Chains A and B, each alone.
Chain A
Amino acid sequence: MIATTVASASVAPAATSLVTFDWSVLAPVLVPALAAVAVLVLDVLAPRLVRLHATVGVLALVAGIALTVPGVLRTADDPLRTLCLPAPDGCLFEAGPLASALQLGALGSALVVLLLSWPGTDPRDHLRGGPAVLVSLVLAATAGAAGVAAAHDLGSWLVCLELATLPAIALVALRGDAPAGRGALALLTTSLVSFAMVALGAALWLVSTGEAVFSAAAATEALADPQRRVVLLLAALLLLAGLGFKLSLVPFHVWTPQAYAGATEPVAAFLAATSKVAALAALLVVVRPLVGAGAPVLFGIGMLAAVSMTLGNVLALVQDDPVRLLAWSTVAQAGWVVLPLSALNEQSAAASGGYLLAYVIATLVAFVVVHVVTSTPRLRGATDLGRTLTAYTGLLRAHPLLGGALGLALLSLAGLPPGVVGLIAKVVALRPVVGAGQWALALVAVLNAVIGVAVYLRWFAVLLRDPDEGPARPVIRSIPRPALAALVLSGAALVATSVMPQLLLGLLD
């Protein structure tokens, strides 16, 4: 065994060691991870320079975004590879267009979150541990999200997945009050259960395929053998359930509204965007080798998608807290995200990724506006309505920039023009399902598209009212510059992808 390994290693490209190593391919993961450590060190050396901490975080994310570009430009058949072992194990880290696009989504959404939580811009700001901890946690979780998208072996996949999850729990707890504690506890419990399921699933995967790598060849071989087939399908179902927690799929969604409502808005945005990218990226790594796995997984994903959409939409329809509304909307949209995976064909992974990125952009814009409306000081005399939909009465006319951005985000989430990117995303998500002839699922999706329209138009109608109709004019004095930068960044992405949806879909193929 050892002899053959050494023999094949001698023909591998990097003959100096057993494993090839390419820094530039790993950079989108390493840069935020190193920056997370650097911020903590800076916090020890110069605890007062909070803006410097945030700047380091922002710069690291911008650098990470730039470093994903080479991977995005590759074709699906020819990804960037590194950590390559001698055959037959293949490479442990593969950054193709889909994985790189998801890394880009994770890093970009984290950038928006960091800008939103810029130190000193939120008067209610009394986070435990100070800004450096927040920046460091966001960077660490982002590194995990970027890593899990490209990880190909069970070990680094599990580590990256937990690296993406655990800091998020701490982020929720940072606010330190009772709702934050409840939210963090719900998230912690869920994460533990989810970790147990994922770990068990990974172990069963190893047992059934005999390899510690997610490889299509090994999966196909295992599926051919009836006894190993059962174990592999059980592994897939456990992994699906474990990741369902992280994606907020019904029935694993219960933590979502609690954690969102307990956390600050930027952290809720992080949970809704970056965490979801990590979860879907992890799921895609599992699902891709399973193309052709057969009915049980298909049925499982289809059921999860249908139930998540329906329950999420129906409960979003009755929420009055915009953050809770967005939380339930996450549940519904998570159903849409996994919908194409139920067809398990070549299109579905890219379709799922495309839908997720469209959702991430739109939901980030919505969270930015919600954060600005609830946190910035108002003109004297205006009642603070806190987190209720009434606070948005007439926002389109009272503050056209915020109102317009939120309106476009809501229409994108609803899938109605002028939010064209949301409409195209629905087309992309439905295409594999219809192509596979799953009519019942398509019908459920149609009904949910309609309920979704009702959910988001309910909020949009509030924006559209006369500002004087509301109990108080929500006059926002000024938007802090970092928040404005976040709004411009995410808003520009939303407008650009609505005019040219190819900018988004082109990333994936």
Chain B
Amino acid sequence: MVILTSLVVPAAVAVWLLTGGRTVSHRTANLLASVASVIALAAVVVAVIVRPTVDRAWVPSLGLRWQLAVDGISAPLLLLTAILGVGVVLHTLDRPPKGGTTAAFHACLLLVEFGALATFYARDAVLFFVAFELVLVPMWVLITRFGDAHDAAARADAGGRFVLYTAFGSTLMLVGILALVAKSGTSDLDVLAQGGGHGIPVGTQTLVAALLVAGLAVKVPVFPLHTWLPPAHTTAPTAGSVLLAAVLLKMGTYGLVRLPLASVPDGFAKVAPVLAVLGAIGIIWGGLACLVERDLKRLIAYSSVAHMGFVILGLSSGTRTGLQAALFANVAHGVISALLFVVVGGLKERWGSADLETARAALREVTPRLGFALIVGLAASLGLPGLAGFWGEFLSVYAAWSPAADRPEGLFRTLAVVAAMGTVLAAAYALRVARTVWAGERTAPPIEDSRDSEWDVIAVLVVAVLLLGIAPGPLLAMTGDAVTTIVGAAP
């Protein structure tokens, strides 16, 4: 019941906003969307505590069921999605969207939330795919209609890239899912995870795992399939960037854990070294790109590629620690990137562009709140102990240093060293941004500091970054049991 509430309420309000309520004022639309997302958040919190299940037939001809549940792996991501769902709606309160009707903008935000929640709830492989596709069109509308107002061609290009890359990835994933279902005879993700690929030849397992990994890697994104991400982030409106970085990318890593890692572990073991190498390349590549990138929003996007590299490395190591690290880093990156995109998006609005070469007033001097939030975000992003980013990345590198028995140890140790060097790059680019944007004495041109709804959202995210950094225990405990069922109780 609570699960259905958290899905139906945002979807119903979004549909109403697109049909009957097309002409409502910005305030009304925002109020409605806020109520819907708060109800969804409350329902998700209850669902995470009570852990109910839903199981209803939908398309019996395909064996497709509305099979929804919550477990330790999906719970943190559900909470993250629901909290940010409220956050992006609140953030829009003082910023009437440009480029289309406000009702459509809010409907798109709610539909993305609906699709992401459905993806994390889904316990049927085909339903997972359908939910995975739900977010595509609303996100595409957010980018092409409501994105950067300066350049229509860039919007169309970024939106097109986003939708075509991800549609390719998800259709490839569909082929993998259909092959998996054909070989194992069930599309129930829990049964698949318990079966662990028994009875499927290793060659077939490898093929299925390769298809699933390749498809999901587009969404994560893993180097070299990441080229859709920077333009999409650069042009998307702030709320869109936040959802993209904090929610949509997580759907990719979540899918990697649920599908190849849990259902065809032997096949995944064959693919894992390649994936780990690509993850490590992503860490270095993203870091290097951040060192030379001139556009601040694009820089944060590249840093996402680097952070997702750590998640991938942890996932590939095949150990309990690695998986825990990946899930932790996943959530941490969600919070940190949401914070950074809110700050950077706000700065871009105030400056008119996000070019780092233009001389501007130092944030330290003119906007202490934004400056503080930026520094917290950057520090967390470079993995400073005591902040959210530290645990995930530290544990990922540790897991790569001592991978599972069936992984090539030499390779993984090399990758651990490479990833450690990546954190040095992260420090370098974080300092570069802090030096050009935050430090200095200039006070002209003056810009307005953060206040009202924007500051509320920022404050919550800063607190979340601190909490996750100081007390990682609850989150690690939440994922712990579910991780044990996937990789066993080994360290």
Are B144 and A430 neighbours in the complex by a CB distance under 8 Å? no
**Contact assessment for A400 and B22 in the assembled complex, using a CB-CB cutoff below 8 Å:** yes
A450 touches B145 (CB 8 A): no
Over the window 137-171 of chain B, the binary record of Cβ atoms lying under 8 Å from chain A Cβ atoms (1 yes, 0 no) is 10011001100000000001000100110011001
Nearest chain B residue, comparing its CB with the CB of A507 = B61
Once bound together, how far apart are the Cα atoms of A438 and B344, in whole Å? 47
- Which residue of A446, A453, A500 contacts B172 across the interface (Cβ within 8 Å)? A446
Q: Which residue of A lies closest to B126 (CB)?
A: A427
Known contacts A416-B137, A461-B156; A431/B178 CB under 8 A: yes
A313–B60 CA distance with the chains assembled, in angstroms? 31
Report the nearest A residue to B115, measured CB to CB: A417
For the complex, is B179 an interface residue (Cβ under 8 Å from A)? Answer: yes
Total count of chain B residues near the partner, CB < 8 A: 39
Q: Contacting B141 at CB < 8 Å: which of A397, A435, A464?
A: A464
Contact: A416 with B136, CB < 8 Å?
yes
Selected contact of A417 from candidates B22, B60, B133, CB within 8 Å: B133
**Given the interface contacts A417-B136, A427-B178, A430-B174, does A502 sit within 8 Å of B58 by beta carbon?**
yes
Which listed residue (A418, A427, A434) contacts B182, Cβ 8 A? A434
For residue A289, CB closer than 8 A to chain B, the reply is: no
CB 8 Å contact bits of B390-417 with A (1 = contact, 0 = none): 0000000000000000000000000000
Chain B CB within 10 Å — which of A424, A443, A446 has the most? A446
Chain B residue numbers with a CB within 8 Å of A506 are: 60-61
Residues on B with C-beta less than 8 A from A427 are 62, 126, 129, 174, 178
A443 to B207, CA, bound (A): 13
| Contact A435 B178, CB 8 Å, known A397-B101, A417-B130, A450-B164 | yes
Among A457-509, those with CB < 8 Å from B are 457, 461, 464, 466, 500-502, 505-506, 508-509
Complex CA distance for A464 and B143, rounded to whole angstroms: 12
Q: Which of these, B18, B59, B179, contacts A505 with CB under 8 Å? A: B59
| Cβ of A449 under 8 Å from chain B | yes
Do residues A423 and B130 form an inter-chain contact, with CB atoms below 8 A? yes
**Interface size on A (CB < 8 Å)?**
39
Which applies to chain B's interface (DSSP): helix, strand, loop or mixed? helix
Is A315 engaged at the interface, CB distance under 8 Å to the other chain? no
Query: Given the complex of chains A and B, what is the CA–CA distance between A450 and B164 in angstroms?
Result: 6
Contacts of B489 in A (CB 8 A): none
Hey, which chain A residues are within 8 Å of B163, CB to CB?
453, 457
- Say yes or no: A508 contacts B145, CB within 8 Å: no
Q: Contact between A424 and B62 (Cβ–Cβ < 8 Å)?
A: yes
Interface flag for A404 (CB, 8 Å): yes
Q: Which B residues from 252 to 279 make CB contacts under 8 A with A?
A: none
Q: Looking across the interface, which residue of chain A has its beta carbon closest to that of B176?
A: A434
A420 within 8 Å of B by Cβ? Answer: yes
For B115, the chain A residues whose CB sits under 8 A away are 417
Check if B358 is an interface residue, CB within 8 A of chain A. Answer: no
Closest Cβ neighbor of A411 among chain B residues:
B137
**How distant is the Cα of A219 from the Cα of B129 in the complex, in angstroms?**
39
Residues of B188-246 contacting chain A, CB below 8 A: 207
Nearest CB of B to A1, in Å: 45
- Contact in complex: B61, A505 (CB < 8 Å): yes
B-side contacts of A420, CB under 8 Å:
130
Assess A424 versus B59: contact at CB under 8 Å? Given A417-B130, A442-B175: yes
Chain A residues whose C-beta falls within 8 Å of the C-beta of B164 in the assembled complex: 450, 453-454
B134 at the interface (CB under 8 A from A): yes
A residues 410-434 near B (Cβ < 8 Å) are 411, 416-418, 420, 423-424, 426-428, 430-431, 434
Is the beta-carbon distance between A457 and B140 smaller than 8 angstroms? yes
CA distance A439 to B210 in the complex (A): 13
A340 to chain B, nearest CB (A): 12
User: Given the complex of chains A and B, what is the CA–CA distance between A468 and B316 in angstroms?
Assistant: 52
Asked if B19 is at the interface (CB within 8 A of a chain A CB), the reply is yes
In the assembled complex, how far is the CB of residue B12 from the closest CB belonging to chain A, in whole angstroms? Answer: 13
Nearest residue in A to B173 (C-beta to C-beta)? A446
For A447, what are the chain B residues with a Cβ–Cβ distance below 8 Å? 168
Measured between C-beta atoms, what is the minimum distance from B222 to chain A in Å?
Answer: 18
Q: For chain B, residues 50 to 66, give those with C-beta under 8 angstroms from any C-beta of chain A.
A: 57-62, 64
A434 near B171: Cβ-Cβ < 8 Å: no
Bound-state CA distance A449–B129 (Å) is: 14
A416 to B111, CA, bound (A): 14
CB pair B133–A434 under 8 Å, yes or no, is no
The residue that A457 contacts in the complex, of B19, B130, B160, B174, with Cβ under 8 A, is B160
Chain B contacts with A in 425-452, Cβ cutoff 8 A: none
Shortest CB distance B483–A (Å): 30
Give chain A nearest CB distance to B132 CB in angstroms: 10
Q: A427-B126, A442-B175, A450-B171 are in contact. Are A435 and B60 (CB under 8 A)?
A: no
Check if A508 sits within 8 Å of B61, measured CB to CB: yes
> Are the C-beta atoms of A461 and B144 separated by less than 8 Å?
yes
CB interface residues, B 24-80, toward A, < 8 Å: 57-62, 64
CA distance A248 to B186 in the complex (A): 36
| A428 and B178 form a contact (CB under 8 A) | no
Per the bound structure, the CA–CA distance linking A66 and B109 in Å amounts to: 43
State in angstroms the CA–CA spacing of A501 and B100 once bound together. 31
Cβ-defined contact, A423 with B137, below 8 A: no
Q: Chain B residue with minimal CB distance to A420?
A: B130
Chain A residue numbers with a CB within 8 Å of B64 are: 424
- B112-129: which residues lie under 8 A (CB-CB) from chain A? 115, 126, 129
- Among residues of B, the one whose C-beta sits closest to the C-beta of A418 is B137
Contact status A464-B145, CB under 8 Å: yes
Question: Does the CB pair A417–B62 fall under 8 Å?
Answer: no
Chain A residues with CB below 8 A from B182, complex form: 431, 434-435
Report whether A505 and B167 are in contact in the complex, using a CB–CB cutoff of 8 Å. Answer: no
CB A453 to nearest CB in B, in angstroms, measures 5
With A427-B178, A454-B160 as known contacts, state yes or no: A400 contacts B19, CB within 8 Å: yes
Quick check: B141 and A446 within 8 Å, CB to CB? no
Q: Within the complex, what minimum Cβ distance (angstroms) separates A167 from chain B?
A: 34
Partner of B59, one of A442, A450, A501: A501
CB-based contact B134/A417 at 8 Å: yes
Which residue of chain B has its CB nearest to the CB of A443? B175
> Could you tell me the distance in whole angstroms from the C-beta of B326 to the nearest C-beta in chain A?
27
Closest residue on chain A to residue B133 by CB atoms: A417
When distances are taken between beta carbons in the complex, the residues of chain B under 8 Å from A501 are 58-59, 62
CB atoms of B167 and A453 under 8 A apart:
yes
Bound: A430/B215 CA distance, A: 16
Q: Which of B60, B137, B172 contacts A502, CB < 8 Å?
A: B60
Known: A427-B126, A457-B160. 7 other contacts (CB 8 A): A427-B174, A434-B182, A439-B207, A446-B175, A453-B163, A466-B100, A508-B61
Please give me the 10 A-B residue pairs with the lowest Cβ-Cβ distance, nearest first: A505-B61, A434-B178, A435-B182, A449-B171, A446-B171, A450-B168, A417-B134, A453-B167, A501-B59, A502-B59
Contacts from A to B (Cβ < 8 Å):
354, 397, 400, 404, 411, 416-418, 420, 423-424, 426-428, 430-431, 434-435, 439, 442-443, 445-447, 449-450, 453-454, 457, 461, 464, 466, 500-502, 505-506, 508-509
Interface pairs (18), CB distance under 8 Å? A400-B19, A404-B18, A416-B133, A417-B133, A426-B171, A427-B126, A430-B175, A430-B178, A434-B179, A446-B172, A449-B167, A450-B167, A457-B163, A464-B100, A464-B144, A500-B58, A502-B57, A502-B61
